[in-house]
A and B are shown apart, each in its own frame.
Chain A
Amino acid sequence: MFGNVWTIDGTGMVVVVNAVVVSAVLIGLGWFLARGKLTSGVPKGRQVLGEFATDFFLNKARGMVYDYDRDTVVQTVTPFLGTLFFFILASNLFAMIPIPVVNRPPTSFYSVTLGLAVSAIFGNLVIAARLKGPTGALKHLFWPNPVQFVSEITDVLSLSLRLFGNIGGEYMTLVLVAAVVPVGIPLILHVLGLIPTFVQAFVFTLLTASFLASGLHREERAGKAKHRVFRRKKPEPA
């Protein structure tokens, strides 16, 4: 009845075009907020908006700094989390536009959400490898539980399915209801659909951040001093 929900046409060009349009909008917005003179004193004008947007991710990144170099952590983690959040938020908001083909948000395709989840978990691995060294990152995948890498795979599945189900389900409901009652009820669905739009972007970013934080922290060594069974004699001072 509603045809193929995975793509509108057979070629999948809609996914790519919509995702490119979302990225272009985001890049244009970022360029617009960052041009002109930026002061490091009291900000005014559009710099306030840019700082407000960046501040949340900066504080999240600062919460992950334990015994690493603070500047490296903050500079690596903040753009990663911020890009994920703003891309998902902008592409979810595309469902509000009343033009027919641009209407369909890129995150209502499972291919896009699977790609986002894979890149989020892979990015966690890359950041952990960059900050802890490659052996440290691999040790996190295998150490406390030898099949811990399976939990990474289920993290990918849960992140992607959650986002796809919420946004894709909302879009499918809109299409079905608008085929029956064109005026009135779709407005209510649009307004109610604003809530999962923000919540899902927030939850995706927060879960990625918590996976990253659990992957970065070193194990507690407080109670585990090395216990030698046969004590070595201390060398005599010469």
Chain B
Amino acid sequence: MNTTLMALVAVIPIAAGAVVAAFAMRKISVTALEGMTRQPEIAQLFTAMLIGMALVEALAIYTLVVTLVLAGKIVVS
């Protein structure tokens, strides 16, 4: 395959995945911070925020794996 085309295509999944994941995590962290300032004594809010972040981040990591597989197949001609 064309090396230039493949190198250009390989970067699209991680770029899109990182941007969309960043928007989702922004919403999660804003809501969690507001909750923590309203009621600082809730112990589980931080734990729930971490789990939510990890689940969203996993989606971005699936796109990273796609990028790694594509980038591993680029052969310099």
Contact A165 B64 (CB under 8 A): yes
Cα separation A237 to B58 with both chains bound (whole Å): 65
> Which one of A158, A162, A164, A202 lies within 8 Å of B50 (CB-CB)?
A202
Task: Scan A141-158; emit 1 where CB is below 8 A from any B CB, else 0.
Answer: 000000000000000001
Nearest B-chain residue to A169, judged by Cβ: B64
Contact B61 A166 (CB under 8 A): yes
Cα separation A169 to B71 with both chains bound (whole Å): 14
Chain B CB within 8 A of A203 CB: yes
Contacts of B64 in A (CB 8 A): 165, 169
Cα separation A203 to B47 with both chains bound (whole Å): 10
Task: Scan B35-77; emit 1 where CB is below 8 A from any A CB, else 0.
Answer: 0000000000000001101110110011011001000100000
Contact A161 B65 (CB under 8 A): yes
Q: How far is the CB of B32 from chain A (nearest CB, A)?
A: 14
Contact B58 A162 (CB under 8 A): yes
Which DSSP category, helix, strand, loop or mixed, fits chain B's interface? helix
Size class of the contact patch on chain B? 10 to 19
Size class of the contact patch on chain A? 10 to 19
Contact B62 A161 (CB under 8 A): yes
Contacts of B58 in A (CB 8 A): 158, 161-162, 165
> Which one of A165, A202, A203, A206 lies within 8 Å of B65 (CB-CB)?
A165
> Which one of A5, A166, A202, A206 lies within 8 Å of B57 (CB-CB)?
A166
Nearest B-chain residue to A159, judged by Cβ: B58
Cα separation A32 to B13 with both chains bound (whole Å): 47
Cα separation A166 to B59 with both chains bound (whole Å): 11
Contacts of B57 in A (CB 8 A): 162, 166
Q: How far is the CB of A56 from chain B (nearest CB, A)?
A: 12
Chain B CB within 8 A of A20 CB: no
Cα separation A158 to B62 with both chains bound (whole Å): 8
Chain B CB within 8 A of A91 CB: no
Q: Beyond A165-B65, A203-B50: 12 further Cβ-contacts under 8 Å?
A: A5-B72, A162-B54, A162-B57, A162-B58, A165-B61, A165-B64, A169-B64, A199-B50, A199-B53, A202-B50, A203-B54, A203-B55
